Structure 1
Amino acid sequence: MKNDLLLIGVSARIYYPAGPVLDLGGVWTKTLHYLEQSVAHWIMHGGALAVMVPAVDSHSLVTRDELNLHDYAEALDGLVLQGGNDVAPESYGEAPLDPAWAGDAVRDRYEMELVDAFVQAGKPVFGICRGLQLLNVMYGGTLLQDIATQRPESRSHRDTSIYERHVHPVVVEPGSRLQALYPGVRQATVNSIHHQGIKDLAPDFSVEARCPEDGLIEAVRWRGPSYVAAVQWHPEFHDRNEPAHFDDMPLLNDFLSAARADRA
């Protein structure tokens, strides 16, 4: 194995055994931390290695102070926040409007600590879907708990019957770094698998893309001293057989280039 390959940390998705809904027994009775295959393959497609960073909760054998996330930030070259459960409304000072939208406060705290460690180490951070929402909340923004409920005039941003095949257009903001990565591209098609979205943008964030049909934010970037960017869609599900769909490789390469520059 080449020792010059980038090591990219990926935040863990968390599965919690939730009673008799699926009585599968065995490993399904345990809390699981996992890395979705498509995210790992997306990172590998850019010539890097994906390394999942475990989380810790009150029932873990390892305590929070024994899992030093700063050690991961020093050892790895960058961080990707993968999608998953909703961000908990309590993380941005609200109560859930519906019990189904209570989110995952444990994962919120873990990922915020993880992002903070990588930012302090000067390592780039890239968020996918929930990752965009988590970053917005971490830096002082808020979320729509459910787009259809709170913005009923908006287009549908999720169709569970077709999952990543549900798409809509995005418009790239002029003068943004995203536009610089895609010269000549003003509008493109992306997948859409989320029911939550940004309500109030974090103060130090810039918008890089929106859905032109309802104005909802689809891509952001931090104006701080290190690389923090995120998209609302899932680049790991990009269909390369659809030329009209957004080509996410320049986005991945830009993130990995930042990681290489920091290593150098």
Structure 2
Amino acid sequence: MTDFDDDLALALRLADAADAVSLARFRAMDLVVETKPDRTPVTDADRAVERAIRDLLAAERPDDTVLGEEYGGDAAPGRQWILDPIDGTTNFLRGQPVWGTLIALAVDGRPVVGVVSAPMLHRRWWAALGSGAWAASPGEQPQRLHVSSVREIPDAYISFNALQFWDAAGWTERLLALVRRAWRDRALGDFWSYMLVAEGALDLAGEHDVKVYDVAALMPVVTEAGGRFTDLDGADEAPWRSTTLATNGLLHAEALEILHSHPVAPTR
């Protein structure tokens, strides 16, 4: 056993509870959708999922702090659960299947447990520090994950999230420089790109305009699968920054070099 086996088991149970709530509201005719002050959408399902997880944590880990997208919280030392009840809310409210619940445990700011559950993709990914990264579909035995062995960007399959965010940050030409060098590119977005990096199906994923709850659960899965996870400047404190870069590790330095080969354009 590792130090976080019990926490991982709890996180998987939290994901079970989250899936039960979210699936019941997916494509519901009476789904309630609002716009938050930051102009992002939120549904009644987002809030119900986070409440369900928080209620279980209050019973199981009453001494741990919680930071969630919908009900807030501040970064805190010690043990802290970090929650994104529905990552991909836009997909969820439009009836698209690429959405999931992200559950992380951080210790002194470092994510050490991560669970990503995507019930409409029939897939769940999880990792704990020192235990490797794993994934399974219902009825299957868990499979240990390993990143790809691609060594050069011209052979790489990459993904990025919404182009608008790269454009707003003045990074469009930087992204295009990377895309033009790569073998293939897709804009899969949200958690899925990172899980495919962990599975070795993609070689690189990155994005702008992320919050800690978007990222914390993803980082242990990618790194325990043998990858590297930083921000777009190469800083290892990626969960607490606003950009991400996840790779198989072998491509990381080259990707950063290409991304920084152009100046940042003036932002709008």
Which TM class, normalised by the smaller chain length? under 0.3
Give the TM-score of the pair, scaled to structure 2.
0.27
Give the TM-score of the pair, scaled to structure 1.
0.27
Higher relative contact order (CA 8 A, sep 6+): 1
